[in-house]
Amino acid sequence: MLQANIEKALNKQIRIEAESSQVYLSMACWAEVQGLEGVAQFMFAQSDEERQHMLKLVKYVNERGGHAQVTDLNAPKTTYTTFKEMFEELYKHELFVSNSINELVHITLGEKDYSTHNFLQWYVAEQIEEEAQAKTILDKINLIGEDRGGLYLFDRDIQQIAVASTPAV
């Protein structure tokens, strides 16, 4: 049975994961109308992945005797000046999510809820990957600079990341 404060914290994380899915979806829409097909495909895949992260939390809360809450979401930003700005915001968002997961882990340790602590270790590892991927992408964007040919190749390359990371259904 989940303690009330842990249930509340997990429900907060459910909302954060849902909002993350919306952030990526909004980025995908912006990239698509900018003609960045590869970036859009990558963002659509990331949006789906974030939704899966949310659903995993929902199932855990409900299975542990809690009640997962679906709440209203903050609307994400819908336009960007450049694709670089978009990826900088993506990186900042991943850092925010990592901090939120770390706070959640801290709460579970304080409450001696080792089952939830163990469950959250998957999220800790996932955030390490998400941050590293975002940082690598930003590094590549900085290498490209203002080179339009480089942008074309980047868009093609990131499409391969999206294809590789899309889960089989």
- Asked if the model's pLDDT at residue 34 lies above 80, the reply is yes
**What's the average model confidence in pLDDT over 118-137?**
96
For the ranges 3-12, 76-85, 136-145, 157-166, which has the lowest average pLDDT?
157-166
pLDDT band of 166, cuts 50, 70, 90: low
For the domain that residue 115 is a member of, what is the CATH number? 1.20.1260.10
- Asked if the model's pLDDT at residue 169 lies above 50, the reply is no
Q: What is the mean pLDDT of the chain?
A: 94
Q: Tell me what percent of the residues of the chain surpass a pLDDT of 70.
A: 95
User: What residues make up the domain containing 109?
Assistant: 4-165
Q: Give the number of domains in the chain.
A: 1
Burial 7-36 (b: 16+ CB within 10 A, else e): bebbbebbbbbbbbbbbbbbbbbbbeebeb
